[in-house]
Structure 1
């Protein structure tokens, strides 16, 4: 999160709030689904080099009880285009899969003059506990917040300043192609690089250095960098 998003949230005329979701079904061997709340935007958007498909989403139950109870959120996705139905038909009710949400402002999306892939709130992480309702118009799931999961400890992710922790693509010798099934890094370019971020011709030797220079080599220094570290974290002595 950068200081820009705090300044925007306190602006007298902030740009529209955008909620971006990632449904991770890799727990069941399925894909990562990227979607944006359609009611907040008129079509697909890109943020941090990733395209989010516009979808009718209703996300509720995030209120925190005054008695200290944890929220019990629900998510309802439109089923009109058959996409979510196809996912369920293939991978089941998605119980155990995770849902990530980040919130940003429209001015920070890719392609805007102030595009900034680090200007966001979150991610908020939830786990699908059960499919609550399935109808032709929509499908609804009950979620649990990441903090409300058995054995969960805080912090859930180690904060490292200069190292990207995203899972990178893997070269499959059998198919002679990259495997993106569990990849978190969005890089899908044809050019491969070695551990020192130098271009190479052998894709089987493609490995990330996990530094900011790794992102710059792959996405270009002037483009948004989907770096999985925390370069904004101040150094302490």
Structure 2
């Protein structure tokens, strides 16, 4: 069982941490990292080495619906003193930008979030898979708050599924990318032999390489399609 799964299985897991990355790169803009609070030191939360600024922000409506229709989450952020107006004006009201929701638990946050910079449970891999959405439509907007409706990236006009090559054995993710999700210590070379040298750390892009990094019994974030090639004409 993975670390995050074991934590979620507890009767009293540590506090849930939701972190938001507003990815403006599709609009030739920057990445904006936000969290609706501060750490115990009253400083911005740091996760996987990245700082998330404390900012009044709320997102809801991510639950999968039983009828199979795609959810349309909403995100609402403070606009006090026009704090978001500049980004809204410069980047097309954020329409077309991505929202990446990262989820972990407080006990796994980077050590810098704790007194003395010590946290024996710090684990950058202890997280649920990133949740990725697209800013689809701007909602209410006034001097106090501003909201958007989000859409599934696949729920866009003109999108074709799948939008990438399908392989049944070789992972298509770039190692240590946001899709891959691994951000831990060096593990193995490209042939799956062990190494602690960062310059030699390469993923084999096979299931075996993924298991070495996430655990043999973990839910692997590997970018393969096991069913491809299993269907044959008769």
Shorter-chain TM-score tier: 0.5 to 0.7
Gaps of 5+ in 2: 112-118, 184-195, 202-208, 217-221, 223-234
Q: CA deviation at 1:113?
A: 2.1
Say yes or no: does 1:145 pair with 2:152.
Answer: yes
- Measured on the aligned residues, the alpha-carbon RMSD in Å equals 3.5
Given that 1:39 and 1:56 are in contact with CA atoms closer than 8 Å, whether structure 2 keeps it comes out as: no
Q: CA deviation at 1:90?
A: 2.3
The correspondence of residues 73-92 of structure 1 with structure 2, limited to 5 A, is 73-80=73-80, 82-92=82-92
Q: 2: distance between equivalents of 1:39 and 1:28?
A: 29
Alpha-carbon spacing, 1:137–1:214, altered in 2? closer, same or farther (3 Å): farther
Secondary structure of the residue aligned to 1:5 is: helix
Residue equivalent to 1:31: 30
Alpha-carbon spacing, 1:134–1:162, altered in 2? closer, same or farther (3 Å): closer
Q: CA deviation at 1:155?
A: 7.8
Match for residue 131 of structure 1 among 129, 138, 141: 138
Alpha-carbon spacing, 1:73–1:213, altered in 2? closer, same or farther (3 Å): same
- Per-residue CA distance 1:89-127 (angstroms, 9 max, x = gap): 322301111110111000010113211111111200000
The correspondence of residues 92-103 of structure 1 with structure 2, limited to 5 A, is 92-103=92-103
What TM-score do you get using the length of structure 1 for normalisation? 0.64
Residue equivalent to 2:13: 14
Q: CA deviation at 1:54?
A: 1.3
Richer in strand (by share): 1
Say yes or no: does 1:3 pair with 2:12.
Answer: no
What TM-score do you get using the length of structure 2 for normalisation? 0.65
Alpha-carbon spacing, 1:215–1:100, altered in 2? closer, same or farther (3 Å): farther
Gaps of 5+ in 1: 167-185, 187-210, 217-228
